[in-house]
Each structure stands twice: as structure tokens, then as C-alpha cells.
Amino acid sequence: MNRFPYLTVVSYILLLLVVIPPLCQAGPRVYERALIKQDTVWQGDILIKGDVEVTKEAILTIMPGTVIRFAKIDQWGPEKLYADRSEHFPRAELIVKGRIIAQGTRQHMIIFTSADTAPGPADWGAINMLDSRGNLMEFCEFSFAHTAVHCHSAQVLVASCYFHDNGVAIGMKNVNKYKTRCVASILYNRIVNNGGGILFGNGASPNIVNNLLEGNKIFAIFAKKAGPALIRYNNITKNGKGLALYATPMVIFSYNNVEANRDYNVSLFEGQNYDVYAPDNWWGTRDEKEIRKLTWDKDEEKDLGRLLFHPYATAPIEGAGIPFKIDGLD
């Protein structure tokens, strides 16, 4: 009999130990202008109020369902870690010099977005990978960034992610001071309604396969002095320009559905003197004259290269675009 109240008290204490800690963590974990110097795991709600850097020796792992919000800090204000404008963005960034593993699931995507009550593009800077390898972004949603996923001489796999309302969804280039060469695999992503879709330059060499690029205001894909790039099995539609190229010697652009882009399906910019290898795409029509109407190449400017689009598909490419449904996005 005497032991009963004792067990009850112990039970209450154990219950409180279980219940209280989660209650204490109800608010987001807040980072203000910080360095992450050791391996770290993020889960739950994270609020970033300044530049956060994952240093060379550290790995940041982000768990499924984590929501990372970036406060809209003053441009180049005191919350910034760096003032170098060639490599950084005006507002808060997650700078990765070590590694980032952000692997959500179809049901529990990882969300990177603005903390502002009236969010807009460029509220925050980027997931900014600098001279970094072994990075992974899978089942993540990115919105209201300047350039959501950004690489300077870094290597990353970006798969099954959803990009919307960013200035640019993905941007990358090589920088001479770093040894790492910029290589990226960009697969199964939905890249819609951004200013620009995928921008790569200065020798960067991505594989862009099985993505949906739709409604991006300026361009879907823009290659600028880029390295060899493989662009296949994408749906590229209703963008400003579908594919834009400047001084890029080698692109393989095949088996894509490319149609109804406002200012040309393919535009060779001034300085794109190389031909572009682009057979077996579906251009939304079987009429060659109609295909040419939405192409800007040597036919329009004698100094430009030529879009080599023969033979072209006579029906939409099966299996192009995202081959499976990502929950919550349709």
C-alpha cells in the first residue's frame, strides 16, 4: 500500500521529463551570423537571421520535414559574414564550404523559404556551395531566394526538388581560385515560375535530365561559356526563352519537349558562334517553318552558329519531364 504513492510520483516525474523538453523547443532554432564548425543535424523549424556558414570540416544534415526560414535582412548589412559581391548575395545565405545533405522524402519535403510575411524573390540569398563536394538536395522545396541553389566550383546532386518564385532556381560556375570543378546532376525537378531556371557558366558541366521547366519569366536554361552539358528528356515550355546559349562549344540537347516558349524555344545569343547539336526534340509541331520561327540562329544572324535540329521528333517525347508524381505538388 505504502509503495503506491511513491510509484505515482515517479511516474509523474517521468511523464514530465518526456513532455517538457518538446514544449521548450516549440519555437524555431535561431541562427544569427554563425559558423557551423562540427557535424550538425537540423530538424523541426529553423530561422536564419544572418549568414550561416558550414565550415570546411563540417557536414550539415537536414532531416525530412524540416522547415528553414530566412529572415529578410538588410542588404550587405551587419548580419552578413562576407562583403565579396562576386561570390555572395546581398541577403542571408547558407554558405557551404563543407557538405550539406538535405534529403527529404516525397511526403516530408525539406522547405527553404522566406520568413517575411509578404515574401518576394531575393528575400534571401542562396544555398551557396563554395569549393565543396558530395552535396545532396533531394525532395526539397525552394522559394523566394535570389539563386536558390548556387555553386562556385562545387559538386551537387539536385533531385526531385520543387523551385518556385526565386530569382534564379539553380546557378553555377567555376572560379579559378578553387580546385574543385563544377559538376551537377539535376534530375526530376519541378522548376516553375522563377525569374530564370538553370544558369551555368565558365566551364560548369551539368547533366540536366527529366525536369519540368515551365513559366520561368526570362529563360528556362541559359548556358554561358559553359563546359560540356547534357540536356535530355526535359519538358521546357511557356518560359521567356527555352534554351539560351552564349559562347558554349558543346551542348547535347536531345529528346526534350520544347514548345510554346515566348521569345524563342532556342536563342543563340550574340557570341554563340558554335553550332548546337539538337536532334530528336519535339518542338510542338511537325512543320519545319514553324520550328524555325521560334529559333534564333545563323538564319537570323550570319555570325551565329546553327541549331542542328534534324531529325526532329514528330510527336511528343514519351518519358520526358518528371516520371513520377511528387506528393503535394500537383
When the beta carbons of 246 and 312 are compared against another protein, the nearer one is 246
When the beta carbons of 200 and 233 are compared against another protein, the nearer one is 200
**Residue 150 makes contact with another protein by CB under 8 A:** yes
**Residue 50 makes contact with another protein by CB under 8 A:** no
What value does the CA radius of gyration of the chain take, rounded to a whole number of Å? 23
- Provide the mask over 29-48, with x wherever binding to another protein is found by CB under 8 A and - wherever it is not: --------------------
CB of 80 to another protein, least distance (A): 15
Burial 211-238 (b: 16+ CB within 10 A, else e): bbbbbbebbbbbbbbbbebebbbbbbbb
Cell of 134: 558530395
CB of 87 to another protein, least distance (A): 7
CB of 121 to another protein, least distance (A): 5
Q: How many helices (H) and strands (E) does the chain have?
A: 2, 32
Query: If 0-12 CB within 10 Å is exposed, 13-18 middle and 19+ buried, where does residue 271 land?
Result: middle
When the beta carbons of 90 and 305 are compared against another protein, the nearer one is 90
When the beta carbons of 104 and 125 are compared against another protein, the nearer one is 125
Q: What are phi and psi of 239, to 5 degrees?
A: -95, 170
Query: Could you tell me if 137 and 161 are in contact, meaning their C-beta atoms sit under 8 angstroms apart?
Result: yes
Footprint (CB under 8 A) of another protein, residues 77-106: 86-87, 90
Q: Per CB under 8 A, which region of 6-14, 66-74, 218-226, 275-283 contacts another protein?
A: 218-226
CA–CA dist 63, 76 (Å, integer):
30
When the beta carbons of 147 and 237 are compared against another protein, the nearer one is 147
CB of 142 to another protein, least distance (A): 14
Q: Report the residue count for the chain.
A: 330
When the beta carbons of 45 and 263 are compared against another protein, the nearer one is 263
Q: Per CB under 8 A, which region of 37-45, 227-235, 254-262, 269-277 contacts another protein?
A: 269-277
Q: Per CB under 8 A, which region of 50-58, 103-111, 132-140, 199-207 contacts another protein?
A: 199-207
**Residue 146 makes contact with another protein by CB under 8 A:** yes
Instruction: Give the neighbor-by-neighbor strand order of the sheet with 295-296.
Output: 34-36, 52-54, 94-96, 127-130, 147-152, 168-173, 196-201, 219-224, 241-246, 266-268, 295-296
**Residue 196 makes contact with another protein by CB under 8 A:** yes
Query: Could you tell me if 110 and 64 are in contact, meaning their C-beta atoms sit under 8 angstroms apart?
Result: yes
**Residue 49 makes contact with another protein by CB under 8 A:** no
Closest CA relative to residue 185, chosen from 196, 172, 194, 166: 172
**Residue 129 makes contact with another protein by CB under 8 A:** no
CB of 216 to another protein, least distance (A): 10
The H-or-E segment that residue 12 falls in is: helix 3-24
**Residue 314 makes contact with another protein by CB under 8 A:** no
Residues in CB range of 221: below 8 A, 6 or more apart: 197, 198, 199, 208, 213, 231, 236, 242, 243, 244
CA–CA dist 238, 264 (Å, integer):
10
**Residue 201 makes contact with another protein by CB under 8 A:** yes
Question: Which residues of this protein are in contact with another protein, per CB under 8 A?
Answer: 86-87, 90, 121-122, 146-147, 150, 152, 166-168, 171-173, 195-196, 199-202, 217-219, 222, 224, 244, 246, 263, 269-271, 300, 303
